Each structure stands twice: as C-alpha cells, then as structure tokens.
A = this chain, B = another copy of it.
C-alpha cells in the first residue's frame, strides 16, 4: 500500500476513534512514525509517549495557536498542512514555513510560541501537553538529543528559506519554492509529483517576499508553459527538468 493510501486509512480509523483504546499501538503504527520526532523515540518508550498523546482535528482556516501565547502543548502533524507565520512590527506578515505530516509544532522549552499556526485544509494532529512532555523528556535524557536534532533541522530549513528569499528573481524563487516543497513531501512518498495542497497565493507571496500579483503572474506563466498544472486539490509538477533549470539558471 502506498504511503498516501495508508495515511488515508489511518485517518479514517482515527476519525472513527479506533485507536483511542490502545494508544500505544496508535503510535507504533503511526503513519508519520518514520519521519517525525516520534520516530526517534525508541520502542521501549513508545507506550508512555502514546499514553500522553491525544488526537486532534483542526478545520480549514482554524488557528492552532498564536504567536506569543503561552506554549501549552506541542503537536505532531499526522495529516494536512498548516501555515506558520509571524506578524512583523510594520504590519507585514512573514510566513516562516508550512507544516506537513511528520512535522513537530511548538518548542517545549520556550514559554511562548515563536509563531502562529493555522490550518490550510483539514488537519489531524497528535497533541502532547507540554508539562507531561517535558517530564517525559527529562526522565529520558537521550530524547533531548532527538529534540535537538529536530530543532537543528528546522534551523537548516530556515537557512534554506533565507537563501531562497534572498534571490532577486521572482521566477527562480517560485521554481525553487515548488521544488523544495516537493522535496519535503517526498519524505513520505518518493514518487510524488503532485503537491497535495492548495496554498493560497497570498501565503506563497508572504513566504517568498513577493506581492500577490507577482506570484500570480509567475504561476500563470508556468501554467501557460505547461511546467505546472493547478487543480482544485493542489499543484501538479509537469516538467521537473524545466523547473530545475529555472531554479538554477
């Protein structure tokens, strides 16, 4: 069964509440087990980790947490996509990333959230109350190393975005964005050439540091040149070679 199908089935079962009774099995068979922080937790600690988690659903447009609010829980995304953003002093909004299945949201050692997070589609999450999670971490010091690795990965992703946004060419920005977003999706499914989310163009603009109009014109051009195709479920990358050329040239 392909990963995406497994995700769908897991989510169905999740909705029906099948896993609530045996939470340790829930984690052990979780679709994002291999790609998330949870995956670094050794099997013997799994039961305890499971017992702390709580499944959570978030509808499109709903906010999971706000920048600056007290960190009460941390989350692992199991399905769907969220946008992560900061409001800047001058009223502009900087989208700092998009969270996809397997991503960890919220930093347990910080008292306040570094960014806001809201759902771009229906999102399923695994919630861990911060206090319990911290205790769990402190009991098993080796898990701090796992958290450190995840944090370091995020640091490197942020540096990547920095390199992306410092590009002066809108066409290249857009091409690199599409490719790097695909790269992250491939963590779960190697074969993917369809990005399974409709990210509002305004969010792409605030991510890349462009205006909505420029983003729109670029997407229109790519579509006209048959490099991508925009459907109502997401973006299909039709010509990866062209896209790579545009990203590097």
Contact = CB atoms under 8 A, between A and B. Distances in A.
A1 interface: no
Given A114-B159, A155-B155, A209 B166 contact: yes
Interface string A191-226: 000000000000000000100000000000000000
A54 to B, nearest CB: 24
Interface string A152-175: 101110110111011010000000
Interface stretch (A11-19, A122-130, A139-147): A139-147
Interface string A74-88: 000000000000101
Given A89-B248, A141-B141, A158 B162 contact: yes
Interface residues of A, number: 34
A144 B155 contact: no
A165 B156 CA distance: 17
A149 B248 contact: no
A162 B163 contact: no
A148 B144 CA distance: 8
A109 B152 contact: yes
Contacts of A94: 159, 162-163, 166
A86, A162, A209: residue with the most chain B Cβ atoms closer than 10 Å: A162
A2 interface: no
Interface in A1-24: none
A202 to B, nearest CB: 14
Nearest to A207: B166
19 contacts: A89-B248, A94-B162, A94-B166, A109-B145, A109-B149, A141-B142, A141-B144, A144-B145, A144-B148, A147-B148, A148-B151, A154-B155, A158-B158, A158-B159, A161-B162, A162-B162, A165-B166, A165-B209, A168-B209
Interface of A: 86, 88-90, 92, 94, 96, 107, 109-110, 114-115, 141-142, 144-145, 147-149, 151-152, 154-156, 158-159, 161-163, 165-166, 168, 209, 248
